[in-house]
Amino acid sequence: MTSSSGDHRRRVEPIFIIFLCLCAVSSGVDSAVHHLKWEIKYEYRSPDCFQKLAVTVNGDNPGPTITATQGDTLVIEVTNGLHSENTAIHWHGIRQRGTPWSDGTEGVTQCPILPGETFTYRFVVDQAGTYIYHAHYGMQRTAGLYGLIRVLVRNGTIEPFSYDKERSLILNDWWHKSTMEQATGLSSLKFGWVGEPQSLLINGRGRYNCSLAGGTDVCNATNPGCSPFVLTMVPGNTYRLRIASVASLSALNLEIEGHNMTIVEADGHYTQPIVVKNLNIYSGETYSVIVKANQDPSRNYWVRLNVVSRKPGTPTGVAILNYYPNHPKKSPPTIPPTGPLWNDTVYRFNQSKLIKSHPNYTEAPPRTSDRVILLLNTQNKVNGFVRWSINNASFVPPTTPYLIAIKENLRNVFDQNPAPGTYGYQNYDIYSVPQNSNGTLSNSIYRLEFNSTVDVILQNANTMNVNNSETHPWHLHGHDFWVLGFGLGKFDPDVDPKSYNLIDPILKNTVAVHPYGWTALRFRADNPGLWAFHCHVEAHFFIGMGAVFEVGADRINKLPSYILGCGESRRLIKT
């Protein structure tokens, strides 16, 4: 049931059994406690044949897949084996009800985990579905700390689709320069950008053209570690394919040559079944699709992954769909399908709008909201530095996490003024390079009334480059939100809400805001905690594209002392 392996497994099992028994006795529910011990390290890896340092979890990159059943408890002891870097791990999509300090968001919910230290995350996976975990510290996700979480339905529960077997694909983009180089460039007065990723990775495997690298000592195309991932299927069978993207930058489009995909799950919620030829997936999103192995069984097929929304500077990523018993490494006789044009915004926009809640599982949103927050996303210069801003405020988290500052009443940690809830939309031209002469750095937050219903409209606009607007996948911690609507152009508060889908909107935790477009969300602020809400592009959040929501702080239990120790929380140390 757990994904720990080797020595770790042996050490873990007795504890696992003890916890399992206790739970069964105390609650009468058949829920388990999975006790995992993880060591995070840097190791040399060659995921796309090019050797560089990558973060591993117990030696694996990507990290191990966690499998649990709805209602189970995960106890994950993370030991930071990096030499001089801190870490924190976010359990993306897990709502952390009652355990806001286990959300793993450094600067928001915890102090960082220092080298040599062990931090124990403990939380319940209360919702079946497909989730991910990844570093949430600086830009460390880019260094390769990520993996998949599968939360299965309870025994006897019937899902609204059927399949014979299950497979998973976790998608990523990958640079050959270090995370530290990327971060340094982004935060320098002389802005530096590492450029487009060198590779797209499918289950941690890509393929770089080693003739472009300087010698076989750093790039070796014969390294078996960088051969394409093989997805084996038995002809005639039906598969559930769990797909997740942890890409640091790229919006992705995935296609399985000759096979349609039927989308059935998005971010842990069942969707109306939708048949697509290819799937647009944005960083932080997860899907389940149904694929039938119903094509010519005498050959293999390409799994094709492309960058979309940005002008591609990264080669197509591939895996092999292997029809058993063909040789798993036998190249398909075709070239990989081309897929949609990278700049076909309307195509992606339309697919976003297709994703709706499954009729048998629809939880309709409240008809009205208590509060509307309108957030303009712009690229600005602040004090000479290139930044992303929300309503002209560019987010910089404090060194003392918000959760600690608020619960321990450390008022000088962050600006107590409310973060800006709207912008001058009447006069703002979203198609022009922003003026933004009044952009500022900010660590103020949005305080939401407990149990209130909140609408957030994310408005995209032109970047600092003429005729350019990017795609931003926004991710909310601690809650799922209803996706009420998408638009292209400027959101009009008087008109656009009339087109909201209040019947069967999908619940998600991550959603795309398309170039020059808007996306409208609604959620019930019913989970006490301090919750990050940010663009899931690692570089964008790193230079300001984020916010924090406070929800029902007075209902948060006493903080565990292990999350403290940094910043102003040292004031609480009594020697």
Minimum CB separation of residue 48 from a second copy in Å reads: 18
Q: Does 562 bind a second copy (CB under 8 A)?
A: yes
Task: Tell me the C-alpha to C-alpha distance, in Å, between residue 574 and each of 5, 565, 569.
Answer: 40, 12, 11
Q: What is the dihedral of CA 388, 55, 397, 247, to 10 degrees?
A: 30
Work out whether strand 546-551 and strand 446-448 pair parallel, antiparallel, or are unpaired: parallel
- Nearby residues of 156 by Cβ (< 8 Å), 6 or more positions away: none
Q: What is the dihedral of CA 23, 528, 110, 184, to 10 degrees?
A: 130
Q: Does 564 bind a second copy (CB under 8 A)?
A: yes
Minimum CB separation of residue 574 from a second copy in Å reads: 5
Among 1, 5, 21, 116, binds a second copy (CB under 8 A): 116
Minimum CB separation of residue 32 from a second copy in Å reads: 29
Q: Does 84 bind a second copy (CB under 8 A)?
A: yes
Cα–Cα distance, 33 to 16 (Å, whole number): 6
Q: Does 448 bind a second copy (CB under 8 A)?
A: no
Q: Using CB under 8 A as the criterion, what x/- string covers residues 234-263 for binding a second copy?
A: ------------------------------
Footprint (CB under 8 A) of a second copy, residues 342-371 = none
Q: Does 575 bind a second copy (CB under 8 A)?
A: yes
Nearest alpha carbon to residue 470 among 307, 356, 339: 307
Q: Using CB under 8 A as the criterion, what x/- string covers residues 379-418 for binding a second copy?
A: -------------------xx-------xx----------
Give residue 391's Cα distance to chain centre. 23
Q: Which stretch in 83-91, 243-251, 420-428, 490-498 sits in contact with a second copy by CB under 8 A?
A: 83-91
Q: Does 227 bind a second copy (CB under 8 A)?
A: no
Task: Tell me the C-alpha to C-alpha distance, in Å, between residue 413 and each of 405, 444, 562.
Answer: 6, 10, 19
Nearest alpha carbon to residue 313 among 378, 250, 268: 250
Footprint (CB under 8 A) of a second copy, residues 150-209 = 178-181, 183-184, 187-188, 192
Among 7, 13, 43, 166, binds a second copy (CB under 8 A): 43
Minimum CB separation of residue 187 from a second copy in Å reads: 7
Minimum CB separation of residue 357 from a second copy in Å reads: 39
Q: Does 7 bind a second copy (CB under 8 A)?
A: no
Sign of the dihedral through C-alpha 271, 150, 280, 364: positive
CB 269, CB 195: distance < 8 Å? no
Q: Does 53 bind a second copy (CB under 8 A)?
A: yes
Q: DSSP letters of 249-307?
A: S-EEEEEETTB-EEEEEETTEEEEEEEESEEEE-TT-EEEEEEE--S-TTS-EEEEEEE
Q: Does 112 bind a second copy (CB under 8 A)?
A: yes
- Looking at beta carbons only, is 190 or 498 nearer to a second copy? 190
Cα–Cα distance, 565 to 563 (Å, whole number): 7
In what helix (H) or strand (E) does residue 183 lie, and over which residues does it extend? helix 179-186
Q: Which stretch in 64-72, 110-118, 234-242, 480-488 sits in contact with a second copy by CB under 8 A?
A: 110-118
Task: Look up residue 574 and give its two tokens.
Answer: 């009594």
Minimum CB separation of residue 186 from a second copy in Å reads: 9
Minimum CB separation of residue 122 from a second copy in Å reads: 17
Contacting positions for a second copy (CB under 8 A): 42-44, 53, 83-86, 111-112, 114-117, 137-140, 178-181, 183-184, 187-188, 192, 214, 398-399, 407-408, 558-559, 561-562, 564-567, 569-575
